[in-house]
Amino acid sequence: MKKIRIGILGMGRGAYLGRSVLLADAEVVAVCDFHKKRLEEGAKSFPGAVKYESFDEFIEHPMDGVILANYFHEHTPFAIRCLEKGIHVLCECTSNGTMAEGVALIRAAEKSDAFFMLAENYPHMKFNREMKRICDGGTLGKILFAEGEYNHPADPNDINFKKDYNYFPKHWRNFLPRTYYITHSLAPIMSATGAVPKKVTAFACPAPFDADVPSASYSAGDKAAIIMTQNDDGSVFRVTGCAGFGAHGNSYRICGTKGQIENLRGMGERVMLRYNAWEKPEDADEVKCYEPDWNDKDRELIEKTGHGGGDFLIVREFIDCIKEGRKPDFDVYFATAMASVAILAHRSVLEGGKVFDVPDFRREEDRVLWENETLAPYWYTDGRAPTLPACSDPDFAPTEKQMKLFRTLVMEEK
pLDDT reading at 103 higher than 90: yes
Please choose, from the candidates 29, 119, 127, the residue with its C-alpha nearest in 3D space to the C-alpha of residue 311. Answer: 119
3-state secondary structure of 232: coil
Lowest mean pLDDT among 240-254, 295-309, 318-332, 373-387: 295-309
For 40-62, what is each residue's pLDDT tens digit? 999 999 999 999 999 999 999 99
| CATH class of this structure's domain 126-296+333-370 | alpha beta
* Distance, CA of 92 to CA of 108 (rounded, Å): 18
- Report DSSP state, residue 30: E
Question: What residue type is 66 in one-letter code?
Answer: V
For 129-185, what is each residue's pLDDT tens digit?
999 999 999 999 999 999 999 999 989 999 999 998 899 999 999 999 999 999 999
Residue 236 has pLDDT above 80, yes or no: yes
CATH superfamily of 5-118: NAD(P)-binding Rossmann-like Domain (3.40.50.720)
β-pairing verdict for 236-243 and 249-256: unpaired
Task: For the chain, give every domain's residue range.
Answer: 5-118, 126-296+333-370
pLDDT tens-digit map of 338-366: 999 999 999 999 999 999 999 999 999 99
The pLDDT tens digits for 156-168 are: 999 999 998 899 9
The model's pTM: 0.96
Q: Is the dihedral of CA 81, 82, 86, 88 positive or negative?
A: negative
Residue 303 pLDDT grade (very low, low, confident, very high; cuts 50, 70, 90): confident
Identify the pLDDT of residue 60. 98
Q: How far apart are CA 114 and CA 378, in angstroms?
A: 30
How high is the pLDDT of residue 386? Answer: 98
Torsion (CA) 43, 46, 50, 54 in degrees, nearest 10: -40
Q: Nearest to residue 352, comparing CAs of 392, 382, 293? A: 392
Helix 310-324 vs helix 13-23: crossing angle, to nearest 10: 60
What value does the mean pLDDT of the chain take?
95
Q: Which helix (H) or strand (E) holds 272?
A: strand 271-275
1: pLDDT strictly greater than 80: no
DSSP sequence for 148-217: EEEE----TT-HHHHHHHS-STT-GGGG--TTTS-HHHHHHHHHHH---EEEEEEEEEE----S------
pLDDT of 297 over the 80 cut: yes
